[in-house]
Amino acid sequence: MAGIALGFPVLKLRGDYLAIVTLGFGEIIRIFMNNLDAPVNITNGPQGINRIDTVKIGDWALGKPETILDFRITGPEKYYYLLMVIVIAIIFICIRLQNSRVGRAWEAVREDEVAAKAMGINTRNIKLMAFGMGASFGGVAGCLFASMQGFVSPESFGLSESIAILCMVVLGGMGHVPGVVAGALLLSIFPEVLRNVVVPIQQTLFGDVIVDPDAIRMLLFGIGLVAVMIFRPEGLWPSKVRKRELHQSKEPQA
């Protein structure tokens, strides 16, 4: 419902303008929830919401450790396996949608909305369906995140998180599910590996001089992203259609 409600005001926007407006709406909602502690306390404001229950099915609680066949499984391990199952299910749904009539309509609207409308596609309903589908995936992930952490606060949903997710999609390859998965894995693992490399180099070169390793790490990270956007604008693992679009072979001159 939230995704569809957001989709109605921005139906006329396309491309970069649509991305900027959706990111702006995300910040508006975060600030709104951050101030929703007065006059009636609903979200507890900047203090966040704590004591969130874990997922329960009867007497079985996902966050509590258990021993099964002499193997002890902790709460975080249970959540890990549940998240893996949900991720695989969502990937399967996305691949099936991509090869379906709805997926082809989404691709047509993305490439040329006017031509798609001329071919009989109801662009309004298709775009609202995309907003609703994306928001539903985000809602499931948010519920699991809250139940696993037991606490949520506005700091967990800042603009940097939205930008990181957008970078995962752009870097991996827009319109290609395996490419997006690869981009997510790369941007999740690479910064931590880079942190382990930057700190020893800093200690060797600067000694006791305090240099923020996170700043150096983000600088190198930004340089890498800019290089990818210049030399691989379609992403590291693009779909065949998008690769053909951005790397068309030159026609032989007469």
Inside any domain, residue 57? yes
Q: Which residues contact 113 (CB under 8 A, 6 or more apart)?
A: 14, 123
- Kindly report the pTM of this predicted structure: 0.77
Residues 167 and 52 in one domain: no
Inside any domain, residue 252? no
Residues 101 and 140 in one domain: yes
Inside any domain, residue 69? yes
Q: Which of 45-49, 94-98, 134-138, 155-159 has the lowest mean pLDDT?
A: 155-159
Inside any domain, residue 103? yes
Tokens of 198: 């930057």
Q: How many other β-carbons are positioned within 10 Å of the β-carbon of residue 219? A: 11
Residues 141 and 165 in one domain: no
Residue that is last in its domain, among 101, 128, 154: 154
pLDDT score at 22: 84
pLDDT score at 227: 83
Nearest-angstrom CA–CA distance, 186 and 182: 6
pLDDT score at 68: 74
pLDDT score at 155: 80
Residue that is last in its domain, among 109, 139, 154: 154
Residues 145 and 167 in one domain: no
Length, in residues, of the chain: 254
Read off the pLDDT of residues 174-191 as tens digits, 9 standing for 90 and up.
778 888 888 888 888 877
Q: What is the DSSP string of 157-175?
A: G-HHHHHHHHHHHHHH-TT
**Nearest 5°: phi and psi at 56?**
-130, 140
pLDDT score at 210: 61
Residues 130 and 183 in one domain: no
Inside any domain, residue 112? yes
Domain that holds residue 14: 1-154
Read off the pLDDT of residues 144-154 as tens digits, 9 standing for 90 and up.
888 888 888 88
pLDDT score at 251: 46
Q: Which residue has the tokens 């099936």?
A: 96
Residue that is last in its domain, among 121, 154, 187: 154
CB 141 within 8 A of CB 90: no
Number of domains the chain contains: 2
Inside any domain, residue 37? yes
Residues 70 and 164 in one domain: no
Tokens of 75: 């709460």
Tell which wins on pLDDT, 204 or 126. 126
Residues 162 and 138 in one domain: no
Residues 45 and 169 in one domain: no
What is the torsional sign of CA 112, 167, 84, 30? negative
At residue 89 the predicted structure's pLDDT band, cuts being 50, 70 and 90, is very high
Mean model confidence pLDDT for the chain: 81
Residues 108 and 148 in one domain: yes
For residue 50, list its beta bridge partners: 151
What stretches of the chain show up as alpha helix (H) in DSSP? 2-7, 15-34, 75-98, 101-111, 113-118, 123-149, 159-172, 177-206, 213-231, 240-246
144, burial (CB in 10 Å: exposed 0-12, middle 13-18, buried 19+): middle
Residue 32 is which amino acid?
Answer: F
CB 170 within 8 A of CB 235: yes
Residues 58 and 148 in one domain: yes
Q: Which of 81-90, 92-101, 153-162 has the lowest mean pLDDT?
A: 153-162
Residues 136 and 28 in one domain: yes
Residues 25 and 144 in one domain: yes
